[in-house]
């Protein structure tokens, strides 16, 4: 039997399982509509739950039949919009309060233990929407079977939530091999071309194509696509070139041979397909094929740090927030070990693809209103034991990934554009963003070199806030042996990190002290009020915000979403942003609070908590344009990679910026006692940097 016949036979087996399971679900839907339904022994709400979820799965079946028959391709835009809304209707804000996908409602109706288990199950089953589009019959069959197994458990008089939880546990445990292999092939195999086919082969002026991805679609995606369709070929080419040339320049900067690479990840939000099509073409000219994969949708693949891949709109950010830790339902050491084992085997099986991988190219968006979540005690959360297990797992997985895809052998580029939701000035802001992304590099090179020269003469730097900002920090700097050949600060122009406009370093932790405070900041899609971090010897010792009524809630919010369950984090980066043009854009259009960290970090000094900017690439020699080698690439944590690799990295890096209007002074303190001001009361005063103040005026 050849490979094609084997694949077809396997597909037929999954299709048979899928249809067999669908027949049973049809009968469950009928059973749960009757008063004598077996699960009613536990309460009528259980029949309501299984009737609701089985009805959803039958909708998935009908949806699958329409897609495979070709009927879906004949739908009008209005029909596709109606279908898209119906598939996501149960988690949209207007329906969510009484949805079994809401852990609060599910727990109220089904009891806390059953509610958490069945709510998580329903969330996982909702992944079937995209499995239909991608024709992933294994997942359709396996999830349908999981639903039936849980129903069979709960229709027993002596059923308990632990049995149902165990069924979900073994679903993820037993299929960890398939899930690991699929996930890695999606990331690194260009033959997995579901999204690439849509982007390259569909008529992008016919906006029906947006609904073929399977994601939730809003006016943001539709208006973005329409706006990009209105731009000229030259404008699209130039947008793509800024992105891809920055990627190419990254390989030059880090002196990595791009000719040995064959694939690139392209990550973006739906609506930007016209630009992405041109990006694909330009990468082809570099010898790179695209690997475009969907951001994780399964409970087992969600990432607290945000979405990585391509994605559409969030149907409901509260829904996503409520379910961000759903794997707490089954995450234990045996499962973590199993995943690592299967990850290792899967990486080994594609080590050739891993060696050819060049790195990600990421197009971010901004403009959505910041989200301030409601904390729900019924939502799944990691126990303290699970938190440590999760951190250990992430550390091991990071080391494993670096073994097959060394960080010093890849590069990246990242750029950002606004969404229509930003307001009536959307098109003007878009044009202004393009200008921000393409500022004069030579001018900034000269200015930033002057700042670096001053900083390299320092023993330490102090940063203070202004007005209500309470920042008061002392930043200790790594020593230099030969200032003529070495530098502590990288001169960041528009290469990997677009737009240009910062100089940055890994601070010396010992001696780095004080308070970092920001009145309002937007991090990883979440809003923070009066975020305050206190450092001693470069390590966070205290943290708080004012989002919630109690100190406990505020600390938990930061622990989960900034510290990512680490007890503390070091200051991994200190930088001075110089892109006053971006800052002025934010003020002009009243969108400063909406700017993504990619742009916001260039609009004032910023401080990253977590790993340094040089995580896993400390040995890679990098140089500023003046030829001086960057030597401040590590700290006392990353040094542990030589003796205790599990403790060397935190697998997170979150930038926190003090905007110019909250900034007091940035002062260079030399060993001889001389003080050199770089910024006074939010204005650049170092000789040669004054042109940066023009935009501030």
Whether 169 and 197 map to the same domain: the answer is no
Residue 640 in any domain: the answer is yes
Same domain, 394 and 463: no
DSSP single-letter state for residue 298: S
Cβ atoms of residues 680 and 462 within 8 Å: no
pLDDT-based confidence at residue 89 (cuts at 50, 70, 90): very high
Q: Please give the average per-residue pLDDT across 628-655, as a whole number.
A: 91
The beta strand positions in 90-230, using DSSP E, are none
**Is 429 part of any domain?**
no
Final residue belonging to a domain, choices 143, 174, 205: 174
Q: Hey, what long-range contacts does 539-546 have (CB within 8 A, 24 or more apart)? A: 539/509, 539/568, 539/569, 539/570, 539/571, 540/568, 540/569, 540/570, 540/609, 541/568
d(CA 611, CA 560): 17
Residues 554 and 680 in one domain: yes
| 244 plus 95 within the same structural domain | no
The pLDDT assigned to 672 comes to 94
- The 10s digit of each residue's pLDDT in 225-279 is 999 999 999 999 999 999 999 999 989 888 899 999 999 999 999 999 999 999 9
Query: From the CA atom positions of the chain, what is the Rg in Å?
Result: 26
Q: Are residues 69 and 212 in the same domain?
A: no
Q: How far apart are CA 559 and CA 533, in angstroms?
A: 12
Q: Would residue 459 count as lying in a domain?
A: yes
Q: Which residues contact 42 (CB under 8 A, 6 or more apart)?
A: 114, 154, 159
pLDDT tier, 617 (very low <50, low <70, confident <90, very high otherwise): confident
Query: Do 198 and 107 have their domain in common?
Result: no
**For the chain, what is the largest distance between any 2 Cα atoms, rounded to a whole number of angstroms?**
87
| Domain span holding position 235 | 186-413
Domain boundary among 413, 432, 462: 413
Q: Is the pLDDT of residue 441 over 90?
A: no
Local confidence band at 551 (pLDDT 50, 70, 90 cut-offs): very high
| 1 pLDDT higher than 60 | no
Q: Is residue 148 one of the residues assigned to a domain? A: yes
Question: What's the domain count of the chain?
Answer: 3
User: 434 lies in a domain?
Assistant: no
| C-alpha–C-alpha distance, residues 133 and 442, integer Å | 47
Q: Which residue has the higher pLDDT, 325 or 525?
A: 325
Mean of the pLDDT values across residues 485-498?
A: 88
β-pair partners for 464: 472
User: Nearest-5° angle of CA 233, CA 236, CA 239?
Assistant: 150
Could you tell me if residue 196 is inside a domain?
Answer: yes
Q: Is residue 432 part of a domain?
A: no
Same domain membership, residue 361 and residue 285? yes
Residues in the chain: 697
Q: Compute the distance between CA of residue 472 and CA of residue 470 in angstroms, rounded to an integer.
A: 6
Helix (H, G, I), strand (E, B) or coil at 172: helix
- Asked whether residue 569 falls in the same domain as residue 648, the answer is yes
DSSP 363-398: EEEE-SPPB-PPP-TTS----HHHHHHHHHHHHHHH
- As a whole number, the mean pLDDT across the chain is 93
**Can you say how many angstroms the Cα of residue 518 is from the centroid of all Cα atoms in its chain?**
22
Neighbours of 12 (CB within 10 A): 11
CB 274, CB 227: distance < 8 Å: no
Tell whether 208 and 333 lie within a shared domain. yes
| Tens of pLDDT, residues 214-238 | 999 999 999 999 999 999 999 999 9
Per-residue model confidence (pLDDT) at position 4: 46
644, exposed or middle or buried, with CB in 10 Å at 0-12, 13-18, 19+?
exposed
Q: How confident is the model at residue 6 (pLDDT cuts 50, 70, 90)?
A: low
CB 359 within 8 A of CB 308: no
93 shares its domain with 148: yes
- Taking the C-alpha atoms of residue 168 and residue 327, their distance in angstroms, rounded to an integer, is 10
**pLDDT at residue 218, rounded to an integer:** 97
Cα gap 419→413, rounded to integer Å: 20
In this predicted structure, what is the pLDDT of residue 3?
A: 45
Give the DSSP H or E segment for 359. strand 357-366
Q: How far apart are CA 591 and CA 599, in angstroms?
A: 12
The answer to whether 547 touches 554, Cβ cutoff 8 Å, is: yes
Strand partners, 308: none
649 lies in some domain: yes
Average of per-residue pLDDT across 449-475: 96
Calpha distance 598→410 (Å, rounded): 20
Distance, in Å, from the CA atom of 283 to the CA atom of 281, rounded to the nearest integer, reads 5
* Token pair for 442: 């030579």
Residue 213 clears pLDDT 70, i.e. is over it: yes
Last-in-domain residue among 112, 140, 174: 174
Nearest to 563 by CA among 293, 418, 382: 382
Q: Which two tokens stand for residue 249?
A: 């320049």
Q: Is the Cβ–Cβ distance between 485 and 628 less than 8 Å?
A: yes
Structure tokens at 420: 């229509």
Question: Do 279 and 402 belong together in one domain?
Answer: yes
Residue listed under structure tokens 């802001």:
429
In whole angstroms, how far apart are CA 89 and each of 99, 190, 311, 399, 419?
10, 33, 18, 40, 23
Residue 271 sits in the same domain as residue 336: yes
Q: Residue 365 to residues 4, 189, 368, 444: CA-CA distances in angstroms?
A: 40, 26, 9, 25
């Amino acid at each position: 039997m050849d490979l094609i016949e084997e694949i077809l036979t396997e597909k037929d087996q999954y299709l048979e399982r899928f249809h067999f399971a669908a027949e049973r679900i049809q009968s469950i839907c009928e059973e749960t509509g009757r008063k004598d339904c077996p699960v009613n022994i536990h309460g009528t709400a259980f029949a309501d739950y299984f009737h609701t979820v089985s009805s959803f799965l039958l909708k998935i079946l009908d949806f699958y039949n329409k897609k495979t028959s070709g009927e879906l391709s004949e739908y009008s835009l209005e029909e596709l919009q109606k279908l898209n809304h119906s598939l996501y209707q149960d988690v949209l804000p207007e329906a969510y309060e009484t949805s079994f996908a809401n852990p609060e409602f599910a727990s109220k109706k089904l009891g806390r233990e059953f509610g958490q288990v069945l709510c998580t199950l329903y969330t996982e089953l909702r992944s079937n929407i995209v499995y239909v589009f991608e024709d992933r019959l294994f997942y359709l069959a396996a999830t349908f079977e999981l639903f039936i197994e849980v129903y069979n458990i709960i229709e027993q008089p002596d059923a308990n939530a632990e049995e149902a939880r165990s069924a979900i546990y073994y679903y993820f445990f037993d299929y960890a091999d398939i899930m690991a292999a699929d996930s890695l092939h999606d990331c690194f195999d260009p033959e997995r071309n579901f999204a690439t086919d849509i982007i390259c082969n569909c008529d992008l002026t016919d906006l029906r194509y947006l609904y073929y991805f399977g994601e939730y679609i809003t006016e943001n995606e539709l208006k973005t696509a329409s706006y990009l369709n209105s731009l000229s070929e030259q404008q699209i080419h130039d947008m793509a070139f800024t992105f891809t040339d920055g990627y190419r320049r990254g390989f030059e900067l880090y002196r990595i041979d791009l000719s040995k690479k064959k694939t690139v990840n392209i990550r973006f939000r739906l609506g930007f397909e016209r630009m992405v099509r041109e990006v694909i073409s330009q990468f082809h000219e570099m010898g790179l094929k695209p690997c475009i994969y969907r951001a994780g949708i399964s409970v087992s693949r969600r990432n607290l740090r945000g979405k990585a891949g391509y994605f559409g709109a969030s149907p409901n950010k509260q829904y996503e927030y409520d379910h961000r830790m759903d794997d707490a339902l089954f995450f234990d050491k045996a499962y973590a070990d199993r995943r690592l084992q299967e990850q290792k085997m899967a990486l080994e099986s594609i080590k050739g693809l891993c060696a050819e991988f060049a790195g990600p190219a990421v197009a971010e968006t901004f403009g959505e209103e910041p989200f301030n979540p409601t904390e729900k005690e019924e939502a799944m959360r990691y126990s303290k034991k699970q938190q440590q297990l999760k951190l250990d797992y992430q550390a091991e997985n990071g080391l494993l990934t670096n073994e097959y895809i060394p960080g010093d052998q890849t590069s990246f580029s990242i750029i950002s554009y606004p969404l229509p939701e930003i307001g009536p000035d959307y098109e003007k802001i878009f044009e202004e963003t393009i200008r921000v992304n393409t500022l004069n590099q030579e001018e900034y090179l000269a200015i930033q070199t002057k700042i670096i020269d001053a900083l390299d003469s320092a023993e330490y730097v102090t940063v203070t806030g202004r007005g209500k900002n309470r920042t008061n920090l002392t930043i200790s700097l790594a020593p230099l042996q030969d200032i003529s050949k070495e530098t502590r600060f990288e001169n960041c122009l528009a290469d990997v990190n677009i737009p240009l406009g910062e100089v940055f370093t890994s601070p010396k932790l010992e001696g780095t002290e004080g308070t970092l405070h920001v009145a309002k900041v937007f991090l990883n899609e979440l809003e923070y009020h009066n975020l305050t971090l206190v450092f001693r010897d470069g390590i966070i010792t205290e943290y708080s915000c004012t989002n919630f009524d109690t100190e406990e809630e505020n600390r938990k919010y930061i622990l989960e979403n900034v510290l990512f369950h680490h007890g503390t984090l070091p200051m991994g980066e200190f930088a001075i942003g110089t892109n006053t043009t971006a800052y002025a854009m934010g003020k002009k259009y009243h969108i400063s609070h909406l700017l993504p960290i990619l742009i916001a970090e260039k609009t004032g000094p910023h401080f990253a908590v977590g790993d340094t900017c040089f995580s896993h690439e400390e040995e890679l020699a990098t140089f500023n344009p003046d030829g001086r080698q960057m030597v401040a690439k590590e700290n006392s944590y990353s040094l542990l990679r030589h003796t205790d690799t599990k403790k060397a990295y935190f697998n997170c890096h979150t930038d926190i910026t003090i905007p110019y209007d909250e900034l007091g002074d940035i002062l260079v303190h030399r060993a001889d006692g001389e003080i050199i001001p770089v910024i006074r009361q939010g204005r650049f005063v170092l000789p040669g940097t004054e042109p940066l103040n023009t935009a501030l005026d």
